[in-house]
Chains A and B, each alone.
Chain A
Amino acid sequence: MSDKIKFSIDDVEIEGEVGQTIMEAADAAGVYIPRLCASKNLTPHGSCRVCTVKVNGRSQAACTQPIAPGIIVENDTDELKGHRRSIVEMLFVEGNHYCMFCEKSGNCELQAVAYRLGIAAPAHEYLFPNRDVDATHPEIFIDRNRCILCGRCVRASKELDNKNVFQFVGRGIEKKVAVNADANLSDTDMAGVDMAASSCPVGAILRKRVGFAIPVGERLYDAKPIGSEIESNRAENK
């Protein structure tokens, strides 16, 4: 029995390995599926829904859906791009994002995905929530204004740091990331080198005193759009 699974994404035949998710197989084949909550080395979360694809006509999150022989996956279609734009715009209006003076600008995955999807300004109304900033920790600060609730810090703290510094509290639109203490990050066992800090795709968890170390223009997504690193895996680009 072959351990390869053949299926297609946007009419391109892909060969994946048994046990892979659609996203893993697509990445390996050089097909970029936009995503925010998914991150290599972390258990898939399936929460941002930016990677929503259609599998045999049904919506599924590419980061959690396993591949199966012969499935027909739609990815880069107008309909899905429309949904993705809407979702990314939701993340912008849900928080308070100020790219022009955010340290993460240029390295920010939210910003990069928004550019890649062609978002100039959100179509949704801004919610302007009041959110907390926690600067109690000597090395790390949390700015919840910029948090997109992707849960990467929650998972990284558990899975990579073997700690339990972050967890979600509240529900619905009131949901937020809390720390394992009565209130302050300084009362947890968070360390400056923890992967939980570097896992943040936006500027919600940042290291203190390293602001703007990489000049604008030389940042991760300044020259090439997000996803290019994956697309360079594509056979025809090699």
Chain B
Amino acid sequence: MNENLEAVIKEICQKYANDSARMMDIVRDVQSVSGGVSKDAMRMIAAVVGVAQVEVESVVTFYAHLSEQKKGKVVIRLCNDFIDRMFGADRVAETFEKEFGIQFGETSADGLVTLEYTPCIGMCDQPPAALINDKVVTWLSTDMASRIAKAVKEDGGIDKLNLPNGDGNNAHPLVNAMVHNNLREKGNLIFEEFVSGSALKNAVAETPVEVIKNIKASRLRGRGGAGFPTGMKWEFTRGADGDEKYVLCNADEGEPGTFKDRVILTEAPDLMFEGMTVAGYAIGAKTGVVYLRGEYQYLTAFLEDALQKRRDAGLLGKNILGKDGFDFDIRIQMGAGAYICGEETALISSCEGLRGDPKNRPPFPAQKGYLGKPTSVNNVETFCAAAKIMEKGAPWFAQKGSQGSAGLKLFSVSGDCKKPGVYELPFGTTVKELLAKVGAEDAIAVQVGGACGVTVPPSDFEKEICYDHLATGGSVIVIGPGRNLLELAHSFMEFFEEESCGYCTPCRVGNTLLKRRLERVIDGKGMPEDLEYMEQLGNTIKSTSRCGLGQTSANPVLTTLANFRSLYDGLVKKSEDGLQPSFSLEKAVGLSESIIGRKSIHHHE
């Protein structure tokens, strides 16, 4: 068995040139072959690629899709974010548990199936959804869950179920997915007919510096949400010392409620690759890497095919479009289940085969990024926009949108609305206008910007969605009548607790403390002081955390406290007797009781 494992591991490591920087690929492959990455496997990998065993363990234990324990042959990962639970994920979970006779978090004794919860998998427009190994199943019902369970038990998988494919390229033989695009409104930017190479032709007709000038003139800002001017990022990277430079594409969209990149990757990957190639030309990079979230594994064959077509057409490779010395190629780097890897320096760490810990800044990636070289990390949608700008010109792009936020933006709309899906709209669209389009005029709140965003009350529905007012990387979650906003905040805090990398104290510990105090309030055991405590704690987490995750993770609590204070006030009570309502004597003595093996005698009134 061990000799066999050793041979398998040697072969896998060989595939990646025994390069420790490809650790993500190595451990992902070992996981998929062996069902887990055991201590034995870690030791063998370490020996082959020349790192310490604990370094391998450090990577394996970081990512949700990797594990030391052997997983079942079929791993069912049910999305349990707030939106999926709004639409019945809990009932689907019960069905799976009943059918398989195990709880979530467990593997069946025969090693057939593992049930796990997972945060947002990018299918919030078709909930509840789950990943069954790499296959996505959407719009799950309890009936469907029973059918899936039966197929897994009988056939060891769901291939024979012949689940219907979705629309567009979801039905492409290389995708073959039950996913729907739900592309509700196309502007004329990303999903317009695009001729491969047309942007690149215009780019190579100019100097790289002129290309950057164009991007700057378009006022394009990062579409991931942070909104850094793209042209400036490219300029810094171009200007940094060093011959070797990199273009990284952030396709790790993991913000709860975001799925617009999924639709780009399905319907317009060529445009994205073209944008990356333009960036490669502008910056002077020879290599591009697409960091694709593990949940989108089902798209890799299709994306590899799109890359190959571009190589065949002379749009990737050596001397692109006959331009002497313009060499550029792209590889896809798979993630393995970690929201933090959407943070650009964590993404770089992960691409380097490390834990997805963000890096200290400075130096910024433009100076010292991937493998220590100058690197520009941009969002999927940003590259698409950059390609269109090179095709149609900066003024064409800049004339749309609002003052500080030029151009069109993709919005992923989910939750309580008639038409969830992707909308391409100009920046500056108000929440109210968006709600009218999606069929959700009765919304009681709108979560703009995902878990780390803002819970917007109806009194602010006139506000514009743009970098200066309500910023979002695309996520818009509609909350309809009858929903509990504190449960929403709580589910986001659970998410951040789970997804914090744990590097810095305020994010690692603070989010757990904040979540617990919120639970106390929701349980009706809170006092007015608890609200003050949450505000203070939230501000400490926000002000002192090391990266964007911790700097925004308290937002669900802080913005609901600011905008929906009455919900909290109605739950907390002043303590009449000076005792803490959250204190439970039974719980406090529980551990002691379990040690001494008998119940203590409580003195109640």
Binding site for B on A (CB under 8 A): 44-50, 52, 59, 61, 64-66, 82-83, 86-87, 90-91, 93-94, 123-125, 127, 148-149, 164-175, 178-182
Q: How far is the CB of A75 from chain B (nearest CB, A)?
A: 14
Using known A-B contacts A87-B540, A93-B513, determine if residue A171 contacts B502 with beta carbons closer than 8 Å.
yes
Q: How far is the CB of A189 from chain B (nearest CB, A)?
A: 10
Q: Nearest 8 pairs between A and B by C-beta?
A: A175-B502, A164-B52, A90-B509, A180-B54, A167-B54, A169-B61, A172-B500, A86-B540
Chain A residues with Cβ under 8 A from B533's Cβ?
A: 123
Chain A residues with Cβ under 8 A from B355's Cβ?
A: 168, 171
Chain A residues with Cβ under 8 A from B52's Cβ?
A: 164, 167, 180
Q: How far is the CB of B319 from chain A (nearest CB, A)?
A: 41
**Closest A residue by C-beta to B56:** A167
Chain A residues with Cβ under 8 A from B53's Cβ?
A: 180-181
Whether the Cβ atoms of A90 and B58 lie closer than 8 Å is: no
Chain B residues with Cβ under 8 A from A83's Cβ?
A: 539-540, 543-544
What are 30 inter-chain pairs, A to B, with CB distance below 8 A? Answer: A44-B360, A46-B360, A46-B504, A46-B546, A47-B503, A52-B543, A61-B360, A82-B536, A82-B540, A87-B505, A87-B506, A90-B510, A93-B509, A125-B516, A125-B517, A148-B505, A166-B54, A168-B58, A168-B355, A169-B57, A171-B62, A171-B502, A172-B501, A173-B497, A173-B502, A175-B503, A178-B57, A181-B53, A182-B39, A182-B43
CA distance A127 to B499 in the complex (A): 19
Per a CB cutoff under 8 Å, which of A59, A82, A91 touches B505? A91
CA distance A49 to B51 in the complex (A): 29
CA distance A170 to B502 in the complex (A): 8
**Closest B residue by C-beta to A88:** B505
Q: How far is the CB of B23 from chain A (nearest CB, A)?
A: 13
Most buried by B among A148, A178, A180: A180
Since A49-B504, A86-B540, A182-B43 are in contact, a sample of 4 more A-B pairs with Cβ atoms closer than 8 Å, ordered by chain A residue number, is A47-B505, A87-B505, A90-B513, A165-B54
Per a CB cutoff under 8 Å, which of A59, A149, A167, A172 touches B57? A167
Q: How far is the CB of B507 from chain A (nearest CB, A)?
A: 9
Within 8 A of A (CB), among B14-63: 39, 43, 51-55, 57-58, 61-62
Per a CB cutoff under 8 Å, which of B39, B362, B508 touches A172? B508
Chain A residues with Cβ under 8 A from B513's Cβ?
A: 90, 93, 124-125
Using known A-B contacts A59-B543, A164-B52, A164-B55, determine if residue A94 contacts B360 with beta carbons closer than 8 Å.
no
Whether the Cβ atoms of B544 and A59 lie closer than 8 Å is: yes
CA distance A93 to B513 in the complex (A): 10
Whether the Cβ atoms of A173 and B500 lie closer than 8 Å is: yes
CA distance A173 to B536 in the complex (A): 20
Q: How far is the CB of B537 from chain A (nearest CB, A)?
A: 7
CA distance A64 to B504 in the complex (A): 13
CA distance A61 to B540 in the complex (A): 14
Asked whether any CB of chain A lies closer than 8 Å to the CB of B429, the reply is: no
Chain A residues with Cβ under 8 A from B500's Cβ?
A: 171-173
CA distance A208 to B362 in the complex (A): 40
Whether the Cβ atoms of A48 and B504 lie closer than 8 Å is: yes
Per a CB cutoff under 8 Å, which of A164, A175, A179 touches B508? A175
CA distance A57 to B543 in the complex (A): 11
Chain B residues with Cβ under 8 A from A164's Cβ?
A: 51-52, 54-55
CA distance A44 to B363 in the complex (A): 13
Chain B residues with Cβ under 8 A from A52's Cβ?
A: 543-544
Most buried by A among B499, B505, B510, B513: B505
Q: How far is the CB of A81 from chain B (nearest CB, A)?
A: 11
Chain A residues with Cβ under 8 A from B39's Cβ?
A: 182
Whether the Cβ atoms of B62 and A170 lie closer than 8 Å is: yes
Total residue contacts A-B, CB cutoff 8 A: 127
Per a CB cutoff under 8 Å, which of B54, B58, B509 touches A94? B509
Asked whether any CB of chain A lies closer than 8 Å to the CB of B545, the reply is: yes
Whether the Cβ atoms of B504 and A173 lie closer than 8 Å is: no
Asked whether any CB of chain A lies closer than 8 Å to the CB of B535, the reply is: no
Q: How far is the CB of A88 from chain B (nearest CB, A)?
A: 9
Chain B residues with Cβ under 8 A from A44's Cβ?
A: 360
- Bitwise interface map of B from 486 to 502 toward A, beta carbon under 8 Å scored 1, else 0: 00000000000111111
Asked whether any CB of chain A lies closer than 8 Å to the CB of B512, the reply is: yes
Chain B residues with Cβ under 8 A from A46's Cβ?
A: 360, 504, 546
Within 8 A of A (CB), among B423-482: none
- Bitwise interface map of B from 311 to 340 toward A, beta carbon under 8 Å scored 1, else 0: 000000000000000000000000000100
Chain B residues with Cβ under 8 A from A172's Cβ?
A: 497-502, 508, 511
Q: How far is the CB of A77 from chain B (nearest CB, A)?
A: 12
**Closest A residue by C-beta to B537:** A86
CA distance A47 to B505 in the complex (A): 7
Chain B residues with Cβ under 8 A from A180's Cβ?
A: 52-54
Whether the Cβ atoms of A49 and B545 lie closer than 8 Å is: yes
**Closest A residue by C-beta to B61:** A169
Chain A residues with Cβ under 8 A from B511's Cβ?
A: 172-173
Chain B residues with Cβ under 8 A from A165's Cβ?
A: 54
CA distance A46 to B502 in the complex (A): 12
Whether the Cβ atoms of B546 and A66 lie closer than 8 Å is: no
Per a CB cutoff under 8 Å, which of B55, B360, B502, B509 touches A64? B360
**Closest B residue by C-beta to A54:** B543
Q: How far is the CB of A80 from chain B (nearest CB, A)?
A: 9
Chain B residues with Cβ under 8 A from A61's Cβ?
A: 360, 546
CA distance A86 to B507 in the complex (A): 12
Most buried by B among A45, A52, A82: A52
- Bitwise interface map of B from 349 to 389 toward A, beta carbon under 8 Å scored 1, else 0: 00000010000101000000000000000000000000000
CA distance A149 to B360 in the complex (A): 17
Using known A-B contacts A49-B544, A52-B543, determine if residue A169 contacts B504 with beta carbons closer than 8 Å.
no
**Closest A residue by C-beta to B58:** A167
Whether the Cβ atoms of B501 and A171 lie closer than 8 Å is: yes
Whether the Cβ atoms of B497 and A90 lie closer than 8 Å is: no
CA distance A164 to B50 in the complex (A): 12
Chain B residues with Cβ under 8 A from A64's Cβ?
A: 360
CA distance A126 to B513 in the complex (A): 9
Chain A residues with Cβ under 8 A from B536's Cβ?
A: 82, 86
**Closest B residue by C-beta to A177:** B54
Chain B residues with Cβ under 8 A from A175's Cβ?
A: 501-503, 508
Q: How far is the CB of B603 from chain A (nearest CB, A)?
A: 24
CA distance A180 to B539 in the complex (A): 37
